[in-house]
Amino acid sequence: RQVIVNSNVVTEAVPAAEPERVYESDLQKYKEDILYGNDEVRREAAIQLAAYQDAPTVAVLLDTLINDASSTVRAAAAASLGTVGDPTAYEALRRSAQFEQDDSVKVAATNAAEQIKAKNNAEDLYVSSSMPPMNAGSEKLGKYLMNLRYGTVDERRDAADDLDSQPGTQAVAALINALLNDNDDEVRENAAESLGKIGDRMAIDFLAWSVAFDGQSSVQRRADKAIEKIKNTIQ
């Protein structure tokens, strides 16, 4: 499997024979497909996820927009975020439009940002006064991103904890996805804490969702502290 690190593709082997999965819903299947499928399967999953307009799905699409290795998949994620129209995705789309190296993705991200802008009041849309760039490509960053997506529980916990050492949009997008979608409480706790340490305003709305809806009180507390830390940083 691959993730993109500032135009460098980092690859990690995944077992060829994956266990058969039983899906409780189409949504679960699309989230699995966007992790484990080939480029075309991931692109189709990104398109289909536009129908599921909740914060965890936005987080999956946001991470895909920023970190997937395939430009066609990233463009599909951008288009779906525009269709969903959630203002929490606006900042990520603006960053993609500015820093993305593939022209087709830049166009898709720009169009999606305009769709969201047309659907929402301007005051609901956050735009950084100085947008953090994509992380500089590094082997360490690539390893953390891969482990957070595909690692064992211990590897995901460590990656969520260590990504605060790699501040930038790619790390933030991956941590937001882990915060809202990982099934391990400690991974989500570590993701919340790392987002607080990085201090990126883009994470606040997703942390607020975690405070309100995460089923684990320890994750809620970490997310609440992270919000306070970010707000103190940007004031």
pLDDT band (50, 70, 90) for residue 124:
confident
Q: Is the pTM higher than 0.95? A: no
What per-residue confidence (pLDDT) applies to 7?
Answer: 52
Measured distance CA(153)–CA(146) in Å, rounded: 13
224-163-11 Cα angle (round to 5): 135
Measured distance CA(105)–CA(108) in Å, rounded: 5
Query: What tokens does 16 get?
Result: 């060829």
pLDDT band (50, 70, 90) for residue 140:
confident
What per-residue confidence (pLDDT) applies to 13?
Answer: 44
Measured distance CA(147)–CA(140) in Å, rounded: 11
pLDDT at 202 over 60: yes
Mean pLDDT of 77-98: 95
Mean pLDDT of 73-97: 96
Whole-angstrom CA distances from 218 to 52, 156, 185, 201, 224 are 27, 17, 8, 22, 10
What per-residue confidence (pLDDT) applies to 139?
Answer: 81
pLDDT band (50, 70, 90) for residue 129:
low
Mean pLDDT of 191-212: 95
Measured distance CA(34)–CA(122) in Å, rounded: 31
Whole-angstrom CA distances from 233 to 10, 149, 163 are 32, 28, 18
What per-residue confidence (pLDDT) applies to 4?
Answer: 55
Question: Do 97 and 60 touch, CB atoms closer than 8 A?
Answer: no
Measured distance CA(95)–CA(80) in Å, rounded: 16
What per-residue confidence (pLDDT) applies to 14?
Answer: 43
Mean pLDDT of the residues in the chain: 88
What per-residue confidence (pLDDT) applies to 20?
Answer: 47
pLDDT at 105 over 80: yes
pLDDT band (50, 70, 90) for residue 130:
low
pLDDT at 152 over 90: yes
Least confident of 113-127, 147-161, 184-198: 113-127
pLDDT band (50, 70, 90) for residue 227:
very high
Q: Are strands 2-5 and 8-11 parallel, antiparallel or unpaired?
A: antiparallel
Helix (H) or strand (E) holding 147: helix 139-150
